Structure formats: structure tokens, C-alpha cells
Structure 1
Amino acid sequence: MPAVDLQVNPANEIIGTKGLSVRFLVSGDSSNGSVATFELMVPGAQRLPAPAHSHDHYEETIYGVDGVLTWTVDGKAIEVGPGEALCIPRGAVHRFDNNGTRDAKALCIVTPAAIGPDYFREAFAEFNAAAGGPPDKVKMMDIMRRHGLTPAAPPST
């Protein structure tokens, strides 16, 4: 069996803007594509600047570490706090928001590792280009689609 260069947090890259960030702990490159794991940090009263979305190629499990995030999955609001876990199945339309005043942190586990740091680098570049305003919706949806996410249709009014 070939030697494997095992490392703690082999990805360990922080990608973000204005307090909203992800810190990759393990990417698909270091797990033979089996898992991607990252911390998600969300400031108090922060809404997700990207559209709700689904993904058909992986499950995403959210584990609450600090604060509370509200995940809306197929229209149902679910609060995830410290010590709680939520598995978002393939195809479920979802998004998250921090509706509280306390910063929140969650551990996100993607199986298999069908998404990685490249998606977040591109998405956060678009958030930063918006200079505090909403990101360009067409560009965001293009970035999402190229990385295997399916943007949800806007809610009907």
C-alpha cells in the first residue's frame, strides 16, 4: 500500500468577506473525493447573499458549533444550534440566515466532495465586487451552475 501523507486540516483555507466566511478543513483533493468539510462563520443578522439552491450530486450535513443558523429547506425553517445536526438531502432547495444577533458557526460536511474551495473563491469574489450591495444575480447563478449547484427559482409573489 502506498504511503499517505496524512495531515490535520490539509485544506485549512479561509475564504470570505465582512465576517461571512468558510474555512476549509478537508477538501476532496485530500480525501480521495469522499468528503469536503468546512466551517461556516456567519455574523449576527446576516442573510445569505446567494440565491437558495439545491445540489443533486451530494448530501450536506450541518453541525451547529456556536450561535444559531436558520436553514430553510424545501420551504421549512429549521434552527440549528450548538450540538445539533441537520442533513440536507440531494435535490432539497435550501438556504441559511443568521436571524439572531450572535455570530454563528457551523461545521458543514459534504459527501461526496462534489464542491470545494474554488466555488467559494468565485462566489466571494462576486460578493466583494458588489461592494456591500447585492451581488450580480446572473453572475452568481452562473458560478453556482458551473460548480454543480442549481439556483432555485425566485419565490412567486
Structure 2
Amino acid sequence: MKPFEIINLGNGLEIHFCLDATDTNAQFTMFKAVIHPNAKVPAAHYHENFDETIYGLKGSLTLTVDDQIITLGPGDFHFVKRGRVHNFINQTDETVEVLAFANPGVLTANYFKDLLGIFEAGGPPDMGKLKSTMLEYGLVPVVS
């Protein structure tokens, strides 16, 4: 079993990539997200090319899917079908952990590595680069 890769985005959000597309013949990818209190989280978005299932491991995550607000605790899960606008936030004082499955396996660890490069460039993140990186990997940001 290979060790997972930890990508610390430096904004209160860590990604522990477990299985990449190369590990699953592009059937799915799996990663654990560690979301600290007051973490900077992705903008509301939808996926063009994959579905996502989020499974609660620790703490309480507030997930918004379209207009529905869902609280995920340990053992809870929610299936986010491609095309559905969603985002999440940790509104607690405790660290939250969730396991995410994306299928098919078109989302890779490279997405998070590219985001890290933008965050490490210094100064406020370049919003244009963030948007283009999201789009490159099939995540479409939605501005309300």
C-alpha cells in the first residue's frame, strides 16, 4: 500500500490524497480533506466531468448543495452529482475531516498542487489563475 500524499494548502485546508486516477485505472480518486476552523475553502462550484461523494469522518461540516444546507458529521455522507453547485465551510471551533470520492477519476492530486503553487506565489492569490486552474480540472466556479 502506498502512503498518501499530503498537500497543505496553507490556508487551513489540507488534502491527504489516497488514490489517484493512476491507482484506480481512472475509475475514481479518493482523498481526505482536513478543514481547520476559519479555513479558506473553495468558492461555490460545480463539476463538469465527475460526481463526488463526501463522507464525514470527524467534526461537523456545513455543506451547501444548490439551495440545500446539509450538516455532515462522522458517518454521514452526501452524493454530489456533477452539475450541482456546492461549497462547504467549517463553522465550528474544531477540525473537520471528510473523505471525498470523485468518479470517474479525472480529478488528480495535480489540481491541488497547482493551487498550492498559486498560494505560494506571495501576496493575495491571483483570482484569475485560481479560476483558470479550476476550469482546467473541470471545476466551474459560480459567483453569486
- Provide TM-score, normalisation by structure 1: 0.85
Opposite residue 30 of structure 2, the aligned amino acid is T
1:151 has 2:141 as partner = yes
- Unaligned 5+ segments in structure 2 are none
C-alpha displacement of 1:124: 2.0
Partners of 1:130 and 1:86 lie apart in 2 by 35
Aligned partner (choices 71, 79, 85) of residue 79 of structure 1: 71
Choose 17-26 or 109-118, whichever is displaced more.
17-26
Match of residue 13 from structure 2: 20
> d(CA) in 2 for partners of 1:24 and 1:148?
18
The structure with the larger Rg is 1
Structure-to-structure mapping, 1:62-101, within 5 angstroms: 62-101=54-93
How far 1:45 moved relative to its partner? 2.7
Structure-2 separation of matches of 1:58 and 1:37: 12
2:112 matches 1:120: yes
Q: How does 1:128-143 map to 2 (within 5 A)?
A: 128-131=120-123, 133=124, 135-143=125-133
Judged with a 3 Å threshold, the aligned counterparts in structure 2 of structure 1 residues 54 and 11 are, in CA distance, closer, same or farther, namely: farther
Displacement, 1:26?
A: 0.5
Distance 1:109 1:72 in 2: 17
State, as a whole percentage, how many aligned pairs show the same letter.
31
- TM-score scaled to structure 2, two decimals? 0.92
